[in-house]
Each structure stands twice: as C-alpha cells, then as structure tokens.
Amino acid sequence: EETLPNGTPIISLAAGGLGVLILVAALLWVVLTRRSSKLTPIPVEGDVSMPLRGGEPVLRRPGQGGRLIVVEGPNTGVEVSLADGAIVIGSGKDSGLRLDGSDGSVAGTHARVWIKGDQLMLHHVARRRQTLVGERAVEWATLRPLDTLRIGPHLISFSIAVAPQPAS
C-alpha cells in the first residue's frame, strides 16, 4: 500500500474524495427537486400556439385579428385575415396569401406571418429571394399596424382590429 510522505494511505484519500463527491451530488439533487416542485404555471388567457418551430408563443386575445392587404402589384386588392394563427405568404397553391410568382420573385413558400399582441411577426423562409420591410431585406421582422412589406412586385400593408373593451 502506497502512502504520502506524512504516512496517510493514498487509498483513504481517494475513498474520502468519492464520499465528498457523492455528498455534493445528493445535496444538489435535493436542492433541484425542491426548487422545481415550487414552480407554478402562469395562467394565460386566449389561444396560445407555436406557429414556427423554435418561435415564440403567439397570444391572441378573443376578438383580436389582423389583415394583410396587397396594395400594389399584380394581386392588388387581395386581403387575408390573420385571426387563425400563422399563414404562409407565397405563390404556392397552399399559401394563405397567394401571390403571383410568374416573374420568379415570389417563392412557393416565401414567408410566414402571425399576430403577436398588436404586431405582425414575420419570418422570411425563401432562399435566393427577398422580403423587404421598408428598404431593408429581412429574415425576421416585427411590423406594427400600417407598416408594409414587399415581396417581389407586391406591396403588402398590415392592419389590426382589436375588439372594443367592454364598458365598466
């Protein structure tokens, strides 16, 4: 059996270190399990959904909805409601807001949008094409009512309608 210069066996130090490690692990487990049992879920009113993988939850209050209106381009006048969660904007047949893509500037699935509070959340998903907010190409953007976005030759305006608050 090997010993340190002061005569202490090396085995007892290893065993003691293992004991301390086990004790620390047990204390950590107790602290973590007690902390997690005290967590209380926060109640949320309205419909909560996840429109995009990895996106933030969307909270829609009853009576709140938005609209997208094409104000310039081949599809001028087309409107779509955003009250039912996320929609796809693109030239594909399954797009919630279907735009003319005959010039190649609009992808089948170009962008996804949804309402969060009083804002429009936008996620650009098309490769080799652009979604502009103002003059800036974006991948993610937050638009306020009356803001516009451009996809190919289409200028799209966002508006929101909030149900009036009941009189007290």
Verify that 28 and 70 share a domain, yes or no.
no
| pLDDT over 80 at 110, yes or no | yes
Residue-level pLDDT at 10? 64
- Least confidently predicted of 5-9, 85-89, 92-96, 113-117: 5-9
Between the CA of residue 167 and those of 46, 160, 164, what are the distances in Å? 20, 21, 9
pTM: 0.59
Q: Band of the pLDDT at 112, cuts 50, 70, 90?
A: very high
Is position 113 within any domain? yes
Residue-level pLDDT at 37? 46
Is position 127 within any domain? yes
Residue 62 amino acid letter:
P
Verify that 101 and 151 share a domain, yes or no.
yes
Helix, strand, or coil here: 28? helix
Q: Which range of residues forms the domain containing residue 13?
A: 7-40
Rg of the chain over all Cα atoms, to the nearest angstrom: 28
Verify that 16 and 71 share a domain, yes or no.
no
**β pairing state of 87-90 and 97-98:** parallel
